Chains A and B, each alone.
Chain A
Amino acid sequence: MQSIIARIEAGERITGPEFLRLERAADLHQLGFLANAVRERLHPDPVVTYVIDRNINYTDICISACKFCAFFKAPEDAGGQVLSKDELAQKIAETQALGGTQILLQGGLHPNKPLEFYEDMLRFIKATGIHIHGFSPPEVVHFSQLSGLPVKEVLQRLIAAGLDSIPGGGAEILSDRVRREMAPKKCGADQWIEVMEIAHGLGLRTTATMMFGHIETVEERLEHLQRIRDLQDRTGGFTAFIPWPFQPDHTPIAAVRKIEKTSAVGYLRMLALSRIFLDNVRNIQASWVTQGPKIAQLSLFFGANDFGSTMIEENVVAAAGVRFRLSEEEIRRLVADAGFKPQQRLMNYTPVP
């Protein structure tokens, strides 16, 4: 352990086996001090950033039927919706009125909308001037399969229609064993990485997420982090990593199998381990949406340097029974109270004056 700690303190990269050793043997204080040291090395100024944006879920109709999701409606279910242009316009106007700079545009895998539908939606939204952070890799792969076009061409057409960056959703755990059980119809781990690699090659910046605390092993968490770190070595295209624990309430898997919700200590440990392992990803986001304001504030000492988004609207976690809400003012108060300077940012982490 002492040699691993010394390596981290010297700013060196740790290996997979060293990650597993830390995960097993390090206590909460050690992980906090080490993650905080890595964070301070990457961000010597005591600034914590956040973005003002809104999640817009253009549809909840989804053919993927992931077992961890409490949000989707199957196509044959009644009650699924696709947002109209009027609804989109109103949501964007509200976002801009609150000083919002971007929207996070994600939806279910709709069975039959053509690529032109999404291009049209992008062009419509782009007319407002807002940054479109949209379409996670499973959506891009789905569009590619429906249209018969390669991923690269799909992305080029989406970029031409106004797509600015890609959110890191749908990564869940980048391990095929986990995906086969939890989300067999969703794109595989290789495909997720491939979409991100192509996107980075086309000049898009993206984030990466990890949803942990369900059926995965520690080794599979490591596999996930390793794949993110390897791709980042090749492209440098990830702006941030966002780990958040699975919220089991109302999900299909929770109905058939008892999965305990990850505790706050479990979350802080994983956050710190991510900060330590992902030495080449500059920013780590706290997940106040799943952890609430108190633990989110504390996560600024466990590796996080970003408070994520104000999320004027959020539907997916809320569907799993977790409904924390924070205003921009409250985020600024929490950040300042923890001893940092709050700073609004854009998707690419440049400050908003």
Chain B
Amino acid sequence: MDAYIEQAGLGRILTKVRKEERLSMDDGRTLFNHPNILALGYLANIVRERKNGNQAFFIYNQHINYSNICTNLCKFCAFGKEKGHDLAYEMSVEEVKAKVRQRLDEPIDEIHMVGGIHPDLPFSYYLDLLRGIKEVRPDVHIQAFTCVEIHHLAQLVGKSVERTLQEMVDAGLGSLPGGGAEVFSPRIRQLTCEKKLPGAGWLEVAKTAHRLGLRTNATMLYGHIETIDERLEHVDALRRAQDETGGFLAFIPLAFHPKNTAMAEHSNTTGINDLKNIAVSRLMLDNFPHIKAYWVMIGPKLAQVALSFGADDMDGTVKEEVITHMAGAETEQALGHKTLIRLIKEAGRQPVQRDTLYSVLATF
């Protein structure tokens, strides 16, 4: 099918991809502006199969959002609420432990836990959360707290990020999720989330975590006011950071969901845009092992198709997803284990149940 790529005017990029040469920002622009999504998918699939063969990963995990109280109040977010707001909530350590206890009979390998930037919960609360979860479920891997939350906690406790992270690791933290990256561009942050930790700060926390031996993910929130160049600069910044540390596991493009946000005038992302972000990021991020098609954001149907357009991971069974659903996501709250396996098989891939660090737990 290489002839179709030549016909589409992407022969030069195809050659680079086959030779494993790094794509330039210009190549990235060419790809993002290209009208033929089949050609982008074909190119991305070359990289995807080189890195991950025919495997498609998923994890059995539990999501816990300990609080939605947040001082950042980003315009693209329908989850964060000011303290005192009718819908504001925070869970006690006991409540979080109860949530974990409720599902002890399930083979959960990872607890994924994030919250907002809470104005006054003390650092000890977060350490207690980690210890509490480990007490109830000692073997579980805790992937928790975005770089934005970590930075906030370091400031709160008046210690370095490194020291703060170390204390959290000692209390049970296993890795960091990729949230809070949004789009690194100062222009975008100014317009949508001016109180949030800037992009450079986000990257610094991630790299510090990597140096401590923690693996982390990275995200990008697309489909609002960002330009193609801003997406590419974001991806390039991640690529350079990964060259330095090698600590990123997965890149997860996140589709903006406008409903109930301060940017509700925007439309939902289209399927073509979703696939384009997956395919182009797979091609640009040559040093990231994994690209995740997060089905909660783009729907199980498109996530399944994405397994041929650059993605190698469908995330997990995810229960009680709150953040995207508050922004009007119409996807189911949980996909059963069996459904995920079936979707992956029907996509012609081999289902692989993984742990957080991508060790193979089972194949189907």
* Residues of chain A contacted by B300 (CB below 8 angstroms): 264
Whether the pair B272, A295 counts as a contact (CB closer than 8 A) is no
The reply to whether the CB of B335 lies closer than 8 angstroms to some CB of chain A is no
| A266 vs B4: C-alpha distance when bound (angstroms) | 23
Across the interface, A298 reaches (CB within 8 A) one of B272, B343, B348, namely B272
Chain A residue at smallest Cβ distance from B343: A263
Q: Which residues of chain B are near A265, meaning CB under 8 Å? A: 304-305, 308, 346-348
Measured between beta carbons, the chain B residues less than 8 angstroms from A338 are: 37, 270, 272
With A29-B45, A293-B271: A263-B348 Cβ-Cβ less than 8 Å? no
Contact assessment for B304 and A263 in the assembled complex, using a CB-CB cutoff below 8 Å = yes
Q: Interface 1/0s, chain A 260-283, versus B by CB < 8 A?
A: 100111101000000000000000
- Nearest Cβ on chain B to A55's Cβ, whole angstroms: 22
Within 8 A of B (CB), among A31-53: 32-33, 36-37
Interface residues as binary, B261-278 with A (CB distance below 8 Å gives 1, 0 otherwise): 000000110111111000
Judge if B1 is at the interface, Cβ distance under 8 Å: yes
Q: Which of these, A36, A266, A294, A337, contacts B38 with CB under 8 Å?
A: A36
CA distance A263 to B300 in the complex (A): 9
CA distance A345 to B268 in the complex (A): 26
Contact A268 B38 (CB under 8 A): no
Report if A293-B270 is in contact (Cβ < 8 Å); known contacts: A29-B308, A265-B304: yes
User: What is the bound-complex CA distance between A292 and B299, given in angstroms?
Assistant: 10
A339 close to chain B: CB less than 8 A: yes
Q: Which residue of B lies closest to A324 (CB)?
A: B330
Which residues on B sit within 8 Å (CB–CB) of A293?
Answer: 268, 270-271
Number of A-B contacts (CB under 8 A): 81
A292 to B42, CA, bound (A): 23
Check A294–B342 contact: CB distance below 8 A.
no
A349 to B299, CA, bound (A): 32
Given A263-B347, A265-B346, A301-B37, A294 and B301 contact (CB-CB distance below 8 Å)? yes
Question: A37's closest neighbor in chain B, by CB?
Answer: B4
Q: Is the CB of A298 within 8 A of B36?
A: no
Contact A33 B37 (CB under 8 A): no
CB pair B301 A29 closer than 8 Å? no
Q: Kindly list chain B residues whose C-beta atoms are within 8 Å of the C-beta of A291.
A: 301
Q: A333 contacts the other chain (Cβ, under 8 Å)?
A: yes
A residues near B119, Cβ cutoff 8 Å: none
CB distance from A207 to the nearest CB of B (A): 24
Count residues on chain A whose CB falls below 8 Å from chain B CBs. 28
The answer to whether B342 and A260 have CB atoms under 8 Å apart is yes
A29's contact among B1, B298, B302, B342, by CB below 8 Å, is which? B1
B304 touches A264 (CB 8 A): yes
CB nearest to A267 among chain B residues: B301
A294 touching B302, Cβ below 8 Å: yes
Are B301 and A292 closer than 8 Å at their CB atoms? yes
> Is there an interface contact between B347 and A33, defined as CB atoms closer than 8 Å?
no
B308 near A28: Cβ-Cβ < 8 Å: yes
> Is B53's beta carbon under 8 Å from chain A?
no
Q: Is A136 interfacial (CB 8 A cutoff)?
A: no
Interface flag for B35 (CB, 8 Å): yes
B41 beta carbon closer than 8 Å to chain A:
yes
Contacts of B308 in A (CB 8 A): 27-29, 265
Q: Tell me whether B41 and A29 are in contact (CB under 8 A).
A: yes
Quote the shortest CB–CB distance from A298 to chain B (angstroms): 5
A4 interface residue (CB < 8 Å to B): no
Bound complex: CA A27 to CA B299 (Å) = 22
- Contact flags B32-52 to A (C-beta < 8 A → 1, else 0): 000111100110010000000
Chain B residues with Cβ below 8 Å from A28 are 305, 308, 347-348
A-B pairs with the 5 shortest C-beta distances? A294-B271, A264-B301, A339-B35, A263-B346, A297-B271
Residues of A within 8 A of B (CB): 27-30, 32-33, 36-37, 260, 263-266, 268, 291-298, 301, 333-334, 337-339
- Can you sample 7 A-B contacts with CB below 8 Å? A29-B42, A33-B42, A266-B346, A293-B268, A294-B298, A295-B305, A334-B270
Q: Which residues of B contact A (CB under 8 A)?
A: 1, 4, 35-38, 41-42, 45, 267-268, 270-275, 298-302, 304-305, 308, 342-343, 346-348
Beyond A33-B1, A294-B302, 14 additional contacts (C-beta under 8 Å) are A28-B305, A29-B41, A29-B308, A30-B1, A33-B38, A263-B347, A264-B304, A265-B304, A265-B308, A293-B271, A295-B301, A297-B270, A301-B36, A338-B272
